[in-house]
Amino acid sequence: MSYFDAASAAPLHPVARQALLASLDDGWADPARLYREGRKARMLLDAAREAAAEAIGCRADEVVFTTSGTRAVHRGIAGALAGRRRVGSHLIVSSVEHSSVLHSADLLEAEGGTVTQVPVNRVGAVDPTGYANALRPDTALAVLQSANHEVGTVQPVGEVAEVCRAGGVPLLVDAAQSLGWGPVEGAWSLLAASAHKWGGPSGVGLLAVRKGVRFAAQGPADERESGRAPGFENIPAIVAAVASLRAVRAEAAQEAVRLRELTQRIRARVPELVPDVEVVGDPERRLPGIVTFSCLYVDGEALLHGLDRAGFSVSSGSSCTSSTLTPSHVLKAMGVLSEGNVRVSLPMGAAEEDVERFLAVLPGAVAGVRESLDAPAPETAAGAGEIVVDSLGKRCPIPVIELAKVFAQVPVGGTVRVLSDDEAARLDIPAWCEMRGQEYVGEEPARRGTAYVVRRVS
Amino acid sequence: MSYFDAASAAPLHPVARQALLASLDDGWADPARLYREGRKARMLLDAAREAAAEAIGCRADEVVFTTSGTRAVHRGIAGALAGRRRVGSHLIVSSVEHSSVLHSADLLEAEGGTVTQVPVNRVGAVDPTGYANALRPDTALAVLQSANHEVGTVQPVGEVAEVCRAGGVPLLVDAAQSLGWGPVEGAWSLLAASAHKWGGPSGVGLLAVRKGVRFAAQGPADERESGRAPGFENIPAIVAAVASLRAVRAEAAQEAVRLRELTQRIRARVPELVPDVEVVGDPERRLPGIVTFSCLYVDGEALLHGLDRAGFSVSSGSSCTSSTLTPSHVLKAMGVLSEGNVRVSLPMGAAEEDVERFLAVLPGAVAGVRESLDAPAPETAAGAGEIVVDSLGKRCPIPVIELAKVFAQVPVGGTVRVLSDDEAARLDIPAWCEMRGQEYVGEEPARRGTAYVVRRVS
């Protein structure tokens, strides 16, 4: 098997494994206790905190260990919002944040606060002026990821931090995808991260809150981790997390070059090997290991299964996967094709020959899914007047396949109305138009579902 | 070293260690993913949930894994309160619950709810009628521990569950100290537990919510663990936790008999070996491995250090430890002596010879502390009128030592006023009176601190 889903969870780094084993014997006791076992546990915890702070680029007393990246985000946002309650309850986030951020924003709205989502461009990046324009007198907090988890696009965190600092608003950076590659630059106020993204064990997140940032931990009081992360500390996992962070950092510069070359190869060659593919995300400002593309007329879940059978573990932001019925909010915010979406995220140490094998296997896997769905051939011809395609009750990628099939009969200047009640169509029909150089006229409410109107221009 | 603080954290069980190592390779991936590594992780997680449910005595879909016992309690209480918000926001707890329960209760009060603390008797047990009397039409939830963490007293959970069921109120049982010994009997509605108390790894708690119990998870939404415990699952630790629970259960019946005999030995022999000691907690209805006693005229922290130097790791609920300046709320609620408090909690497998060595070392350790504090000899004689002892600015156990020193000069019928601003005096002066058979008249506000009045009756 080739595991190409490091952005979900990286395999345990050998250093993490060693450190975990070594600290199981010395790190199980309560670090708040005065006796020998407690003092040993405390020493391990203190040393881990020092090393984590050094890797983050902050003071040790600014770092607490949480039990996951999600928890670091949840507690960081809740604490920062509460700390600035007197200022107001307006939160700024980008439209492509991790669900842990967006769910925190939903909760704020449910409790009467307000949220501004800063949009992204077609490669998934925010514009710092978007944050500047969103700032209000009652803005309590802004949140931005260091890099996107689905498409790898690196965000202009340093510039956004400057904008926020000028506005007197703290910025929380979700560094889950990037901390293994290096510290987050700029004047951020809070930072969240997740150990299992860099090869540390599950069960460890980091939350850094710079001195001077107003912060009021929420939930029941607890004396552990400066009151910011309740519950007994998992010290062996914390030690393993920090040891592996240091290890991956030591390899990061060299490995970044190598993985960047491999993902560049995928970016360049997939569109050559597979017809009707859109590679998404910023081609330059991106994480070394992530590359994402979408395949027209392809059911994402079927493609994942096909690749799994061929020995490749990848992820998908398509609506056509069993875990969700709506397309990835990231692809949606970028306005790119979501159907047949594949995210390849290479773990450190990924082998070149596995990437080559992936490129060899992919065309057949895509063609197999398209064949099973009776998808149109890559090119087609002309017909006459407005054609109505009834795709009601059919799921992604069927509406786009049916659109493409009838398109050959449409004369230049003629239109097709696709009736669909599948949420993915709203994203994928305009994306198909952009890929095909056809005009997307717009959508209209229909008796059932929505009518998506496309005009043939060439 | 002999580690006698299993009630804080038990050393990692060998089965937990094996299971952790074995599942590091198969349990690191995201169980929500469709590919092979994800499916393996999901299978491990599902099997662990089945086994945990069997050990608890509930259905697998009623159990979620949290990241600590504290988090299980926090989320269980918050979710159960929110689920019954329409009924009201009154919470019933016992006065000797774990701090995670009491801090949840504090938060409810801060948010406008009300809390009734059911008192305990001198051995630390609640009376089911205390819960019956506390029930109100707006009671949303009742909480009771299965057994006390500081003195080992087993609570009448089955009877309290009946009382609650009759009143239509769900009961959350904090089973942190007892789940390794066996399932919790009775018609409880929610149950919380912590793996590192039975020899599982840190980082795993259990929360069971019976079907039909109204529950509304609080905090930002998250799709993991039925929405009840946010963040990426720590599957290797979960597997290790459940494997060790099964292992300790298999040994529990036999080990309970052995440890009960050892703690009974401590209960019986400490008062013979050390003068002026009060053994606390229920002598019969108690956990097998816990025994707690308090030593008059002893500084708890100094005694812990002395025992640590002699090779014993024990814990203390005294005010005189560095981690806290107020005496344990448990000892306070029981109305027993808190100074010089020692909790011995034997881990499974504790050796008889280590217990014997502890009994050999303890008298010298206590005598050493008393000598350094210039404590009075075990017996004393008489004097005249009211004597005022100014202990302002002095910490536990000094006020009681000074009281005892002047007591020899007081005639029968005469009184002593002890002026003290140490919170522990409020507990320890009445406790001293009870131990000595003298009359505690009461307390009065003084210009500084409080005057505690004691009358000599014999």
Q: Using the predicted structure, report yes or no on whether residue A23 has a pLDDT greater than 70.
A: yes
- Alpha carbon distance B221, B227 (integer Å): 7
> H-type helices in A230-351, by residue range?
235-273, 300-309, 329-334
**d(C-alpha A168, C-alpha A174), whole Å:** 19
Highest mean pLDDT among B321-330, B344-353, B404-413: B344-353
The phi, psi pair for B86, rounded to 5°, reads -70, -30
| Mean pLDDT of all residues belonging to chain B | 94
Let me know if B58 is a catalytic residue: no
Inspect the interface and report whether the beta carbons of B220 and A12 lie closer than 8 Å. no
Q: Specify whether the CB–CB gap between B67 and B191 falls below 8 A.
A: no
Interface check A111 vs B, CB under 8 A = no
Query: For testing the chain B interface, which of A34, A77, A204, A326 should be mutated: the one with the most B CBs within 10 Å?
Result: A34
The pLDDT, as a whole number, for residue B97 is: 97
Amino acid B23: pLDDT: 95
Q: Which of B260, B352, B373 is nearest to B306 (CA)?
A: B373
pLDDT of A382 > 80? The answer is no
Q: What is the mean pLDDT of chain A?
A: 94
A400 in B contact zone (CB under 8 Å): no
Pick the CATH number of A7-248 from 3.40.50.12280, 2.120.10.30, 3.40.640.10, 3.40.50.150: 3.40.640.10
Q: Which of B130, B110, B129 is nearest to B118 (CA)?
A: B130
- Under DSSP, the state recorded for A284 is S
The residue in chain A having the minimum alpha-carbon distance to the alpha carbon of residue B74 is A220
Res A383: pLDDT: 40
Q: Residue A379: which pLDDT band, with cuts at 50, 70 and 90?
A: very low
Residue where the block lists tokens 């003290």:
B420
User: What is the distance between the alpha carbons of residues A361 and A34, in angstroms, rounded to a whole number?
Assistant: 59
Share of chain A above pLDDT 90, in %: 86
Tokens of A390: 């009834």
Confidence band (pLDDT; 50, 70, 90) for B383?
very low
Structure confidence at residue A327 (pLDDT): 82
Q: Are A319 and A327 in contact (CB under 8 A)?
A: yes
pLDDT exceeds 60 at position A420: yes
Distance from the Cα of residue A221 to its chain's centroid? 32
Tell whether B104 lies on the interface with A, counting CB pairs under 8 A: yes
Contact between A33 and B8 using a beta-carbon 8 Å cutoff: yes
At the fourth CATH level, the homologous superfamily of domain A387-455 is TusA-like domain (3.30.110.40)
Domain chopping of chain B, boundaries: 8-248, 252-372, 387-455
Are A238 and A207 in contact, with CB atoms under 8 Å apart?
Answer: no
CATH number of B8-248, picked from 3.40.50.2300, 3.40.50.720, 3.40.640.10, 3.40.50.300: 3.40.640.10
Which residues sit opposite A442 in a β-bridge? A453
> What integer is the mean pLDDT of B200-215?
98
pLDDT grade for B318, boundaries at 50, 70 and 90: confident
Whether A34 contacts chain B with CB within 8 A? yes
Residues B401-426 have a mean pLDDT of: 90
pLDDT of B355 over the 80 cut: yes
Contact B194 A301 (CB under 8 A): no
Decide if pLDDT at B385 tops 80. Answer: no
pLDDT surpasses 90 at A321: no
- Which residues does chain B have within 8 Å of residue A68's beta carbon, measured at their own beta carbons? 67, 230-232
pLDDT greater than 90 at residue A448: no
Write out pLDDT tens, residues A110-129. 999 999 999 999 999 999 99
A&B contacts, CB < 8 Å: 205
Alpha helices in B204-288 (DSSP H): 235-273
CATH architecture of A252-372: Alpha-Beta Complex (3.90)
Burial of B445 (0-12, 13-18, 19+ CB in 10 A): exposed
Residues of B in contact with A100 (CB under 8 A): 220, 222, 230
Which member of B32, B196, B236 has the closest CB to residue A232? B196
Range 171-200 of B in CB contact (< 8 A) with A: 194, 196
pLDDT of B324 reads 62
Structure confidence at residue A381 (pLDDT): 37
What is the structure's pLDDT at B141? 98
A135-174 residue pLDDT tens: 999 999 999 999 999 999 999 999 999 999 999 999 999 9
